[in-house]
Structure 1
Amino acid sequence: MDPVTKKPLPYQIIDPTSCPDPPYGSTCQAFPENIIQSIDPVATKVIPFIPAPNRPGSPNFVVNPRERRNDNQFSARIDHSFGPNDSIYGRYIFAQSVTFTTDQAYTTLPGFGDKIRYRGQNIALSWTHTLSPTILNEFRFGFSRNMDIGTCENCPRAKGFVESFGIANLKALSPEDEGFPYFGLSQGYFGIGDSNYRPVESNDMVEKYNDTLTITKGKHTIATGVDMQPYQSLRDQAPFSPHGQFDFGNLYSNFTVSDFLLGYPGSAGRSVAKRVNYHDGKFLNAFFQDDFRATPNLTINIGLRWEYHQLPTDRRDAGAALFPIPGMPLQTPGNAFLVVPGYAQADQLCQEPRFILDQGLSTERHLVMCSADMKKYGFTGRAARSLWFPDRFNWAPRLGIVWRPTSSDKLVLRAGYGLFFELSQFNGFHYGFNNPVQAPNQFVNFESGVTPPAKIDTAFLVGEIPPLSDSFLSINVSPYFKQPYVHEWTFNVESQLTNNMAVEVRYLGTAGRQMSHFHFFGNQAIPGLGDIQPRRLYPDFGFTAEVGSGANTSYNSLQLQLTRKMSNGLSILAGYTWAKSITDQEAEEGGYADGGAGLGQNDNDPKGDRGRGVDDARHRFTIGYIWELPFGQGKKWANGGGLLNGIVGGWKLTGSTSFQTGFPLTPSTSYDVANVGTGSWRPDRTCNGSLPPGQRTVERWFNAACFTDQFLLADLAAGHPRFGNSGRSILDGPGFQNWDFAFLKDFPFGERLRMQFRAEFFNAFNQAHFSDPVRDITDSTVGQIFGAGEPRDIQLALKFIW
């Protein structure tokens, strides 16, 4: 019953203990009048923390979280010339901030946000030395150090807080880890609980050494040099779930909230240990470039780079990776090892009974790889500690052509090609150091379509986690990780229309290969009946979230740009982009927040999830402008001096306006229709589902009737589970238009000093930038929009310039 309107809920609540196969069986009995007589003891303790409804209907609670942020910044710079041949430059920047936010929190409910403290320092130095009129050398040094400390808004909570919920074998790992266990609900309902990975302290340091030699000889300008970037990161963090996590996915009683009230989770997770990670590595680069002015109208640029991005090692030999044995069939016991850094550690762990299955039997197999096998399979040299095979053959050619068809500069044609290696997503690499050997995590997926096997307080049935069992959340980076790279090609036509106006037409295309990808549902089972574990590709291991590099992307766009230089007090820069982005699965950590477009349902067939990219905005128009208002001395109106000019003269209007179509959406279902345990499941699609733009409203953004899971549930009940046929990224989310502008006026004090007043308006017309609609077809509010972006923000500022 809706607690505000007192109207019945649109769900028939099933008693999961009344039948052998809820919620799909016809013999299941419903609770009379949807009233649950006995609430689970743990749920009873959670309910008082859930705020009361503040509006009727669904959703019945609306919150506008307020972000608070305090920033301080200091910078200093020096430029000095020692003579005609030598000059130096130096800069130092210090910044710190404290932010209270819900952006990274698990819920926007009051009291469950995050407090993020940041401190950063940056140093840049350069020395330019002229060796001769045609030879110049520049040496640059850079240093950056950043510290982030993240905690829950109300953490640490009182001593014994975690244990007070009465969940067997769940307690805080340390006093600073006392937090609220997370209880996640589907079907559009708020979850409640403190964030995972809290508290966390991260200290990152990067040094950069670069030397470039430039030689001018005839028609050639040659630049060659080397670049080295050592880096290190110290991370002291809580593991995946320091205070426990429970998700209720509508598996048993036909309603996610009643699953919670009855105490039947769909999955549960916890951690029992944590450790400090201290990893380091370096980037090595070398390059050669030749700008060849072939004719006065034709310039050719040829270049070649070599890049080696060394993957990190941990100074304490933390880390682990799942290594499939080459040539072994899938779904075969013993077809994979867990490899750990260092031969000594490997030989110690591989002989421990807890890492041996079927010990003493003919089927005995070691789950941790011993040093002899590490050497056999190529884990030698640095790879014996980094656990990733080096990828050194990274050559990146570059070619550019600039041609003026006439002697005039009014028409210029440009074409180019380049291969660019991307920096690895090192945020993902910390997963390799948060693994089931040194920082164990227990993650239990309960099977749907059966009598509930556990309640909240019995989800963790053993006192200590048996490492590497099927209840583990194993997180690793693939030993075969390759450096992602992108082919990029472009063709431009630039034309000067008038003395102060130019237009540019550009085609830009890219093709990404070996792109970094977070397999959020790695080692996923093949669809089938019964126990999930034997159907996994590597059945000795459980659900494995893996950072790999096998994704592909493509991007093609037509870009138009109009530039009007300042003339008669007005300058304009306007651009339009018509583009299309195609990718395989591409979700990184936090991929749930992109309309579901980044998550695939079948991790064993990423190409089957090929679709529009999460950033595929088909049309985008932007315009920026500066307008010196025509009032005051020397202007068209109020052309006078004195007090009148001091009030109305000297004002400028600056602004930017953006129009963009929406990012893609993917319909989903809460049911594990394929019985694979983990995944981002999709329904069947029976018709298009996309409404004409004129029919899209916040109450009905897409036609939810075009998506169903009834055939999937029928196939599951009949013993033929399968994935839904609905594609990824098939719908469009809300677009947006935004107007930001500012009024500026300078007040001079003599010749060198002036005070600038700024009145800035962000989202000036207070337009609603709607969030994505509910995509879960099992939710009664599917297709409806309940959130919006930031409202209008007005900022007044004074800036002293000397």
Structure 2
Amino acid sequence: MSRARLRLAWLGCLVLLFWPAWLAGQQFRGTITGLILDQQGAVIPGVKVTATQEETGARSETLSSGEGRYTLPFLSPGVYRVEVDAPGFKRYVRSGLRVSTNEQVTLDITLELGQTTETVTVTAETPLLITATASTGQVINQRHVEYMPLNGRTPLVLAQLSYGVIPNTDPRFYRPFDDGGPSNFSMGGAPRQNNELLLDGAPNASVGGGNGFSPPVDAVEEVKVESFQADAAYGHSGGGTVNILTKAGTNVFHGTMYEFNQVSALGANLFFANRAGEKKNVSNYNQWGATAGGPVMLPRLLDGRNRVFFFFAYEGINQKMPRATDTTVPTAEQREGNFSKLLALGPAYQLYDPATGVREGSRVRRQPFPGNVIPGARIHPVARRILAFYDLPNQPGKADGTNNFFVGAVGEFNTFDSEMGRLDFNLSSRHKLFYQFRHNDRLLRNGTTFSNNATEATLTQINWSTGIDDVFTIGPTTVVNTRLHWLRNSELRLPLSLGFDITSLGFSQALARESAGAHFPRVTVSGLAELGSSRGGGIYNPYDSFQLFSSLSKTVSAHTLKLGGEVRLLRRNRYDKGQSSGAFEFSTNWTRGPLDNSPAAPTGQGLASLLLGLPTGGYWDVNAAESSQNAYLSLFLQDDLRLRASLTLNLGLRYEKELPTTERFNRSTNGFDFNSPSPISAQAAAAYARNPIPEIPPSAFKTMGGLTFASPQRRRLFETPPGVFGPRVGFAWTPGALGGKTVLRGGMGLFYFPLDRPGTGIDQTGFSQQTPVVPTQDNYLTPYATLSNPFPDGILKPVGSALGLATYLGRSVGFFTPDVKPGYSLRWNFNIQRQLPRNALLELGYLYNHGVRLSLNRQIDFVPAQYLSTKPVRDQEVINRLTAAVPNPFAGLMPGTTLNGATIQRSQLLRPYPHFTGITERTTPVGGSYFHMLQVRFEKRLSEGVQLLANYLYSKLIERRSWLNDCDPLPEKRIASDDRPQRLVISLNWELPFGQGKALGKDAPRAVRALISGWVINAIYTTQPGSPLSWGNVIYYGGDLKLNPRRIDQAFDVTRFNRNPQEQLANNIRTFPSQFANLRQDGVNNMDLSVVKDNRIGEKINLQLRCEFFNFMNHPSFNAPNLSPTSSAFGTITSQANLARSTQLALRLVW
């Protein structure tokens, strides 16, 4: 039997073993648990306990165990009435008990002696303290969901109100259709976008960890955020969990209608636009929708009260959002070859004529263009036509002409529609089921940078999901929950220039016929705005996620046991045309001087290369389609053991198995053969022996290795990782000596990161063919590819795996590390909760998170360290030696590549695999992280008109997730990019004490009372430091930088660095760290504020008027300063990281 069939048989046996007990490890329902006691404290076994959801009439029943313990699991969040009937005791009724998402509510019940016809009724607040679990987190309740000011109204953003959550996204991109923005946060020290996102308990992540489907805020009941899970049911994430619960229908018809509108006329101008005297750009964000829910009523057929319920929500968005930015375009003089104004700034701006190049030893020497002017006759006609697609400058710019074009009109134009619905069935007190469906679509039309369609693309996003969830009570102590779910996210990106004829630029008809998707070619000129689209000829990218989960819950004595598992299948199809009409790069290689390895000018030389028609790089894509997938299996066992009334232990074990990614038709590489000689090995060795270099004797010169490919016999992209076990241990203790108002909890757990998601690392080299632009074959002495004929050897056709180890010789390649191992997070948690008077809670906690075996990409084809400079200054001798042209042993062996010419740079021959220009080993499990967090949480539930949530954290995050030098044995240990030493978030909901039923004005005349009643103030205040600055390979003289991230004209002392372009480092071992804990960009100091007027119309209708302010104080947060020492803008801040104050008006009808 084949391995694939064996795996399928094994999975099938597991499904049969657990069916129908297959289900959701990830759970959104809550639990009520406790002890049944008499008045002397003795336990009472065999007592019937019933919980009835007050909104729907759904009933759940159980019997207390021999130890008097009862458990009612899988309760939909809501308000419950608990009833207890026992012979010889009065009937007990407790109403108003709130159960939140994935919450264990402990309710110990003491029965009084008497007749069952007598009733003891208790009405009290739901306990603030959670006493039965070591898990830590935060419920963002319905009051906060409804009233908090949310820019974009995306419910996932509410996770930021919880502790341990560090957002990393521009707030402009918190809209419901932004899959990456709202989810781009770090939680509990884990890498960003490595959190488990759930919607009604089902996985809700798109490819890459983004947000799958965003429900309208008016359809959300609450949001549960957990940074530590003691429950082994949770996994598939090295971070935290965010579970969004949607609303369901009830016995009462209810719903909302709303419209929210932001217009630029009511907002403030951006800081830099205001500073430059520019007017506000016209923008608009209009968001409207409706929800409705209730019992399903079909006259003469069905009265759904207490039985069948529906809920439906619709939302639409129209947005016009400008993207004001400065960029650089060629001046009229430069388009004619005149760069004399640059030369006036200094000799570093001199252009050199590639036509004057001569050999000087191993170097190429060139002569300058007299006066920095390129003769008009030398300007290439294709370059003139390309330059016509750049608009002329519309502002002076800097002294060197950069930033001379202000892009004000370009922007996004979004239309969005979203629908979702669910049906809930109370089939009996033992059987409950719900079905949901969701759909949304977005059309993004980007405005163009210039007055033509040479830039930008359109985007169409369509998301679908559906699922069914079933809860069945087998017996008084046994309940099974089963769920099946499907999610699809798809994107279609098309360039605005689709169908563009490249012959109109002067390219040949023969080249145009090679295009699989005609578009304006991508043109990248160093120092200038880009032309063309990064999406090339278009991309269609559907992603499917299938889930089958189940769990069985059983109460045995003092144990509440959960056994379950989960299967996920992740599948991605990708149809990417790539740059199917070519991409052309123009850098400084041809026009720098006087030697070919002299430092480049700060600007001008790339444009000069374009004018001369001499590209320095580029490519032409002929891409294959992709269909990749992988599967994930988990099993778990959880035991919540209540040792006594005040102490509960959480003991769990989770098993996870992730199968390697495969491509459905084996159109992929699957490794690198390090041990076999390359097909060109003998010829290369013989040629090298005739002209060796001193560093490598002929006997030591090897050309070993090449790519391997998937096949029917070995389809996987990497070896199957072993299954892993993740134990969880925790406790929750409520010391009686502290009055039952204090809980101490702690725990530890091992959490595994999912492997590389399908498609994100697929390498289809050979099946997709990229033909490179080969600018020269003699180290930039003479051109090989020009704009007249950019591909002199023709466009290469895909050959699949036919070339074997000879595939992509002379180019950069990549592969998965064969020994992929899932990274894991070792987390420790301890905290103390204390219930305070006035319905308040204070929590102090500590969380430790150690990330191990984090996946990194590593360059393994590097120049060995012994050949690089260790000097702290530019080492011209080493640079000259490594970049020197030497005889090429691969000459003629690699046609169509930069390694096919007569000469080659010495550094290329020093690489361990000199027949490739780079080899990237993906998902190498060598990264790590270390996180410590102290947190303080204060929560006041709504009472006396006030609801308040405040979270403060003090933390440090160290990481090893990037390389300072390719030749380093370990990744760089540095302060993490996501490190924020302190963060404070306060959210407030305050009903002003005026009017009907309030302390002030309750007896005022009716008209006055109506005017002053129903005012609610809501605010979210956030403050935190900025991210560490990321430095390049700079020469630092030492001394205090005197950094002030809010001093825009000179954020730090630029004289502490060497700024001379001629003296910058190259070919050296870098020692200057990439990030420092004390050098950060500007932080966040933001308040969002809303004023709401509730106008009650009768008992069932509320007409709500809202005025919301985002960045109420109009406090600009700045981006990082320019950190390029050779730039004229070095040390200056030129852009804003947040939005200017915006105002949103809304009308909302609640019925």
Query: TM-score, length-normalised on structure 1?
Result: 0.81
Contact 2:1035–2:1064 under 8 Å retained in 1: no
1:605 to 956, 968, 991: 968
Over 3 Å counting, the alpha-carbon distance change for 1:174 and 1:750 in structure 2 is farther
Contact 2:834–2:843 under 8 Å retained in 1: yes
Cα distance in 2 for residues equivalent to 1:689 and 1:46: 46
Does 1:80 pair with 2:425? Answer: yes
Pairwise mapping of residues 437-448 of structure 1 onto structure 2 (< 5 A)? 437-440=767-770, 442=772
Cα distance in 1 for residues equivalent to 2:621 and 2:764: 12
Which residue of structure 1 lines up, in the alignment, with residue 1055 of structure 2? 705
1:101, CA displacement in angstroms?
5.1
1:25, CA displacement in angstroms?
9.8
Which residue of structure 2 lines up, in the alignment, with residue 421 of structure 1? 752
Over 3 Å counting, the alpha-carbon distance change for 1:82 and 1:704 in structure 2 is same
Which residue of structure 2 lines up, in the alignment, with residue 561 of structure 1? 937
Secondary structure at the residue paired with 2:428?
coil
Cα distance in 1 for residues equivalent to 2:786 and 2:862: 24
Q: Which moved more, 1:459-468 or 1:772-781?
A: 459-468
Contact 1:510–1:554 under 8 Å retained in 2: yes
Over 3 Å counting, the alpha-carbon distance change for 1:441 and 1:794 in structure 2 is farther
Cα distance in 2 for residues equivalent to 1:106 and 1:300: 61
Pairwise mapping of residues 400-411 of structure 1 onto structure 2 (< 5 A)? 400-407=730-737, 408-411=739-742
Cα distance in 2 for residues equivalent to 1:259 and 1:560: 54
Contact 2:472–2:480 under 8 Å retained in 1: yes
Contact 2:672–2:815 under 8 Å retained in 1: no
Cα distance in 1 for residues equivalent to 2:424 and 2:477: 23
Contact 1:177–1:243 under 8 Å retained in 2: no
Contact 1:277–1:433 under 8 Å retained in 2: no
Does 1:143 pair with 2:492? Answer: no
Cα distance in 2 for residues equivalent to 1:292 and 1:45: 76
Cα distance in 2 for residues equivalent to 1:110 and 1:219: 70
Q: Which moved more, 1:142-151 or 1:249-258?
A: 249-258
2:960 to 575, 584, 590: 584
Cα distance in 2 for residues equivalent to 1:800 and 1:776: 53
Contact 2:461–2:490 under 8 Å retained in 1: yes
Cα distance in 2 for residues equivalent to 1:317 and 1:367: 21
Which residue of structure 2 lines up, in the alignment, with residue 180 of structure 1? 521
Which residue of structure 1 lines up, in the alignment, with residue 1074 of structure 2? 728
AA of the residue aligned to 1:142: H
Over 3 Å counting, the alpha-carbon distance change for 1:658 and 1:445 in structure 2 is farther
Over 3 Å counting, the alpha-carbon distance change for 1:365 and 1:6 in structure 2 is closer
Contact 1:715–1:722 under 8 Å retained in 2: yes
Cα distance in 2 for residues equivalent to 1:87 and 1:729: 54
Which residue of structure 2 lines up, in the alignment, with residue 63 of structure 1? 407
For structure 1, the 5+ residue unaligned runs are: 329-333, 338-354, 587-599, 669-681
Which residue of structure 2 lines up, in the alignment, with residue 199 of structure 1? 538
Contact 2:1021–2:1088 under 8 Å retained in 1: yes
Contact 1:172–1:243 under 8 Å retained in 2: no
Cα distance in 2 for residues equivalent to 1:765 and 1:424: 43
1:358, CA displacement in angstroms?
4.8
Over 3 Å counting, the alpha-carbon distance change for 1:711 and 1:149 in structure 2 is closer
Contact 1:319–1:438 under 8 Å retained in 2: no
1:125-156 per-residue CA deviation (whole Å, 9 max, x = no partner) reads: 2111111211111111111122211122x130
Does 1:691 pair with 2:1056? Answer: no
Secondary structure at the residue paired with 1:386?
coil
Over 3 Å counting, the alpha-carbon distance change for 1:714 and 1:502 in structure 2 is closer
1:112 to 443, 455, 458: 455
Does 1:121 pair with 2:464? Answer: yes
Which residue of structure 1 lines up, in the alignment, with residue 990 of structure 2? 627
Q: Compare CA radii of gyration and give the structure with the larger one.
A: 2
1:539-580 per-residue CA deviation (whole Å, 9 max, x = no partner) reads: 232334443233222222222222222233222211222222
Cα distance in 2 for residues equivalent to 1:665 and 1:563: 34
1:179-230 per-residue CA deviation (whole Å, 9 max, x = no partner) reads: 33231425xx533331145511111111111110111112211111010112
Secondary structure at the residue paired with 1:705?
helix
Which residue of structure 2 lines up, in the alignment, with residue 672 of structure 1? none
1:240, CA displacement in angstroms?
6.3
1:465, CA displacement in angstroms?
4.2
1:222-252 per-residue CA deviation (whole Å, 9 max, x = no partner) reads: 1110101122221111236753141526784
Over 3 Å counting, the alpha-carbon distance change for 1:578 and 1:30 in structure 2 is farther
Cα distance in 2 for residues equivalent to 1:386 and 1:173: 32
Contact 1:443–1:473 under 8 Å retained in 2: no
Pairwise mapping of residues 221-620 of structure 1 onto structure 2 (< 5 A)? 221-239=560-578, 243-246=582-585, 248=587, 252-253=591-592, 254-263=601-610, 267-325=616-674, 358=682, 384-407=714-737, 408-426=739-757, 429-440=759-770, 442=772, 451=781, 457=787, 460-465=791-796, 468-469=807-808, 471-519=810-858, 523-526=861-864, 527=868, 528-530=882-884, 531=905, 532-550=907-925, 551-586=927-962, 600-605=963-968, 607=970, 609-620=972-983
- RMSD over aligned CA atoms reads 3.8
Contact 2:653–2:725 under 8 Å retained in 1: yes
Which residue of structure 1 lines up, in the alignment, with residue 384 of structure 2? 44
Secondary structure at the residue paired with 2:938?
strand
1:477, CA displacement in angstroms?
2.8
Contact 2:1107–2:1146 under 8 Å retained in 1: yes
Pick 1 or 2: higher relative contact order, CA cutoff 8 A, min separation 6. 2
AA of the residue aligned to 1:156: L
Cα distance in 2 for residues equivalent to 1:746 and 1:413: 40
Which residue of structure 2 lines up, in the alignment, with residue 675 of structure 1? none
Contact 1:585–1:606 under 8 Å retained in 2: no
1:688, CA displacement in angstroms?
5.1
Secondary structure at the residue paired with 1:725?
coil
AA of the residue aligned to 2:841: A
Contact 1:43–1:261 under 8 Å retained in 2: no
Contact 1:242–1:270 under 8 Å retained in 2: no
Count of residues in Structure 1 that have an aligned counterpart in Structure 2: 729
AA of the residue aligned to 2:490: M
1:301, CA displacement in angstroms?
0.9
Secondary structure at the residue paired with 1:432?
coil
Over 3 Å counting, the alpha-carbon distance change for 1:182 and 1:281 in structure 2 is same
AA of the residue aligned to 2:752: F
Cα distance in 2 for residues equivalent to 1:319 and 1:273: 15
Cα distance in 1 for residues equivalent to 2:826 and 2:621: 44
1:325-347 per-residue CA deviation (whole Å, 9 max, x = no partner) reads: 2xx5xxxxx56x8xxxxxxxxxx
Secondary structure at the residue paired with 2:397?
coil
Does 1:98 pair with 2:443? Answer: yes
Secondary structure at the residue paired with 2:1047?
coil
1:402, CA displacement in angstroms?
1.6
1:560-618 per-residue CA deviation (whole Å, 9 max, x = no partner) reads: 222222233222211222222222234xxxxxxxxxxxxx4523326353322221222
Cα distance in 1 for residues equivalent to 2:505 and 2:564: 62
Cα distance in 1 for residues equivalent to 2:633 and 2:862: 36
AA of the residue aligned to 2:438: I
1:721-757 per-residue CA deviation (whole Å, 9 max, x = no partner) reads: 3133321123312212222122223344443343433
Cα distance in 1 for residues equivalent to 2:353 and 2:705: 37
Cα distance in 2 for residues equivalent to 1:761 and 1:182: 41
Over 3 Å counting, the alpha-carbon distance change for 1:272 and 1:79 in structure 2 is closer
Query: TM-score, length-normalised on structure 2?
Result: 0.58
1:119, CA displacement in angstroms?
1.0
Contact 1:14–1:28 under 8 Å retained in 2: no
Which residue of structure 2 lines up, in the alignment, with residue 346 of structure 1? none
Secondary structure at the residue paired with 1:260?
helix
Contact 2:549–2:567 under 8 Å retained in 1: yes
Secondary structure at the residue paired with 1:82?
strand
Which residue of structure 2 lines up, in the alignment, with residue 342 of structure 1? none
